[in-house]
């Protein structure tokens, strides 16, 4: 007969064994290293779309797959640290968001497959050899948002018909933002506007940049990236104080007080990136999976911001808007 003390000892041993077995089970799970370009709170909707699609494909976090999350907050050095850590952890696949983050991952490993859920111009920024057959260990979904810079400026001019002078804000530490800055500058000039460059490399550059713009611009085009995303509320607050209507690439900037955005539907791209992960975890080679482009684009208008700026959104713009925030 087992005494009470022996029973408790056995019970404790069983608990330790269960924890050890669970740890061993988790250690055997395929592991995804997920590197976000901004902050966890700013990326929550995108991550939810990614994880939900993985679940639909049979990859359930903590049960059939493990995910290690890291957030670079738009800082290149942090992206480099995180990707080096993924290599040390021997993750099975790296999922990135943003061009600098993907470049950091590519620099860290030529062996571990890399899927970018969002990247600007993958060929122009040397992430892949070409879209149809990427080669190497990198593939994913292209934003190509530099190609729609002209459309964004045209839409901004619909709401600000008197627009003559445009400022373009870009983090020039991001190679893709440099491309978009050039594209937006060219598009503005083609549309007969004066264009001023507002270049930043770190959060400390934002306040003096707005100070320098005083009286020199009538609207602000914002080139999106991780650093800008992490500081989007600050940028929109400063723009509103300076009476500058803003054009952004994505919905979350408008939710944070921006005037309007036009660009790819990011949750959709993150969902689709899960399909890439599924294929690779089942044996496909990253370099043989074609890079795809957005299929859904959203126009979002913030009427509260428009009202604060004394602007009337034309019925034609509101009619084609995918979402109007009031």
Question: What are 155-175's pLDDT values in tens digits?
Answer: 999 999 999 999 999 999 998
- The whole-number average pLDDT for the span 68-85 is 91
Reported as type and span, the H/E element at residue 153 is helix 149-159
**How many angstroms separate the CA atoms of 143 and 72, rounded?**
19
Reported as type and span, the H/E element at residue 171 is strand 165-171
Q: Which two tokens stand for residue 146?
A: 């530099």
pLDDT at residue 26 tops 50? no
If you count them, how many residues does the chain have?
326
Fold of the 4-142+266-295 domain:
Rossmann fold (3.40.50)
4-142+266-295 and 146-264+298-325 have identical folds: yes
The larger pLDDT score, comparing residue 17 to residue 135, is at 135
**How many angstroms separate the CA atoms of 206 and 227, rounded?**
11
pTM over 0.85: no
Of the candidates 155, 152, 145, 110, which has an alpha carbon nearest to the alpha carbon of residue 124?
145
The predicted structure's pLDDT at residue 12: 57
Edge-to-edge strand ranges of the sheet holding 194-200: 194-200, 165-171, 219-222, 246-248, 260-264, 297-302, 323-325
To the nearest 10°, report the CA torsion of 57, 116, 299, 167: 170
pLDDT confidence band for 5 (50 / 70 / 90) = low
Residue 119 CA to chain centroid, in angstroms?
A: 8
CATH superfamily of 146-264+298-325: Response regulator (3.40.50.2300)
The predicted structure's pLDDT at residue 48: 95
pLDDT confidence band for 3 (50 / 70 / 90) = low
pLDDT at residue 142 tops 70? yes
The predicted structure's pLDDT at residue 19: 45
Instruction: Delimit the domains of the chain by residue range.
Output: 4-142+266-295, 146-264+298-325
Percent with pLDDT over 70 in the chain: 91
**Mean of pLDDT over the chain:** 90
Positive or negative, the CA dihedral 217, 256, 261, 198 is positive
**265 — phi, psi (to 5°)?**
-75, 105
For 6-72, the DSSP string reads HHHHHHHHHHHHHHHHHHHHHHHS-EEEEEESS-TTTTHHHHHHHHHHHHHTT--BTTTBEEEEEE-
The predicted structure's pLDDT at residue 22: 45
Angle between helix axes 175-190 and 149-159 (nearest 10 degrees) is 50
Angle between helix axes 76-89 and 99-108 (nearest 10 degrees) is 40
Please tell me whether residue 178 adopts helix, strand or coil conformation: helix
Please tell me whether residue 232 adopts helix, strand or coil conformation: helix
pLDDT confidence band for 27 (50 / 70 / 90) = low
The predicted structure's pLDDT at residue 185: 96
CB atoms within 10 A of CB 14: 10
């Amino acid at each position: 007969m087992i005494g009470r003390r022996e029973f408790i000892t056995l019970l404790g041993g069983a608990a330790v064994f269960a924890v050890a077995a669970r740890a061993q089970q988790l250690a055997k799970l395929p592991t995804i290293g997920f590197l976000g370009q901004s902050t966890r709170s700013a990326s929550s909707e995108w991550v939810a779309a990614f994880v939900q699609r993985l679940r639909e494909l049979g990859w359930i976090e903590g049960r059939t797959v493990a995910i290690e999350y890291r957030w670079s907050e738009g800082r290149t050095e942090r992206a480099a640290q995180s990707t080096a850590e993924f290599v040390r952890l021997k993750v099975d696949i790296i999922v990135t968001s943003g061009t600098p983050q993907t470049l950091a991952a590519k620099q860290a490993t030529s062996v571990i497959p890399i899927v970018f859920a969002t990247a600007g111009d993958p060929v122009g920024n040397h992430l892949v050899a070409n879209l149809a057959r990427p080669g190497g260990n990198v593939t994913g979904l292209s934003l190509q948002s530099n190609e729609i810079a002209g459309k964004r400026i045209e839409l901004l001019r619909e709401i600000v018909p008197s627009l003559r002078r445009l400022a373009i804000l870009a983090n020039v530490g991001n190679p893709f933002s440099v491309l978009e800055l050039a594209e937006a500058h060219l598009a503005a000039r083609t549309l007969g506007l004066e264009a001023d460059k507002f270049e930043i490399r770190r959060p400390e550059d934002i306040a003096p940049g707005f100070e320098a713009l005083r009286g020199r611009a009538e609207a602000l085009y914002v080139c999106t990236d991780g650093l800008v995303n992490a500081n989007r509320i600050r940028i929109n607050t400063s723009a509103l104080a300076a009476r500058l209507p803003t054009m952004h690439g994505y919905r979350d900037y408008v939710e944070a007080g921006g005037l309007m955005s036009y660009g790819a539907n990011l949750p959709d791209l993150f969902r689709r990136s899960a399909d890439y992960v599924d294929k690779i975890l089942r044996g496909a080679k990253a370099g043989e999976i074609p890079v795809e482009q957005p299929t859904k684009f959203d126009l979002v208008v913030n009427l509260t911001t428009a009202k604060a700026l004394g602007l009337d959104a034309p019925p034609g713009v509101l009619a084609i808007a995918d979402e109007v925030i009031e």
